[in-house]
Amino acid sequence: DTGVSQDPRHKITKRGQNVTFRCDPISEHNRLYWYRQTLGQGPEFLTYFQNEAQLEKSRLLSDRFSAERPKGSFSTLEIQRTEQGDSAMYLCASSADVRSGELFFGEGSRLTVL
């Protein structure tokens, strides 16, 4: 296992379509995070899981967004009825212990909504 992997790396979709991103964390990490990043901004927290439990969701996460982590392994982030404002880089990170500050990020999934 060489790190956090995300798929797809790039997605172009039309407004109103649904998209789903997948994240495979480092296998021994029990915490998994989703962040969103737009140009010139730092990563903004969306949601996180400890094992299969979704423990916190940001107010940025509207009803059109849903995240799952079945069996505490990989996670999916689905965006329904995409809007142009959803265009961003969606970053996944995992960690074994958040107190160390070391989140391991994937390379991200870039979404473009036309």
Partner 1 sequence: EDQVTQSPEALRLQEGESSSLNCSYTVSGLRGLFWYRQDPGKGPEFLFTLYSAGEEKEKERLKATLTKKESFLHITAPKPEDSATYLCAPYSGNTPLVFGKGTRLSVIA
Exposure letters 67-81 (e unless 16+ CB within 10 A, then b): bebeeeebbebebee
Answer yes or no whether residue 45 interacts with partner 1 by CB under 8 A. yes
Burial class (CB in 10 A: 0-12, 13-18, 19+), 18: exposed
Between 42 and 70, name the residue whose CB sits nearer to partner 1.
42
Provide, rounded to whole angstroms, the least separation between the CB of residue 49 and partner 1: 11
Name the minimum Å distance from CB 16 to partner 1: 27
Tokens of 50: 């400890």
Backbone angles phi, psi at 47, to 5 degrees: -165, 160
- The structure tokens listed for 7 are 């798929």
User: In the stretch 48-77, what mask flags binding to partner 1 with x, by CB under 8 A?
Assistant: x------xx---------------------
Cα end-to-end distance, the chain, whole Å: 35
Span near partner 1 by CB under 8 A; candidates 11-19, 62-70, 75-83, 94-102: 94-102
For partner 1, which stretch binds (CB under 8 A), given 13-21, 35-43, 59-67, 71-79? 35-43
Q: Which residues here bind partner 1, judged by CB under 8 A?
A: 4, 31, 33, 35, 40-45, 48, 55-56, 91, 93, 98-108, 110
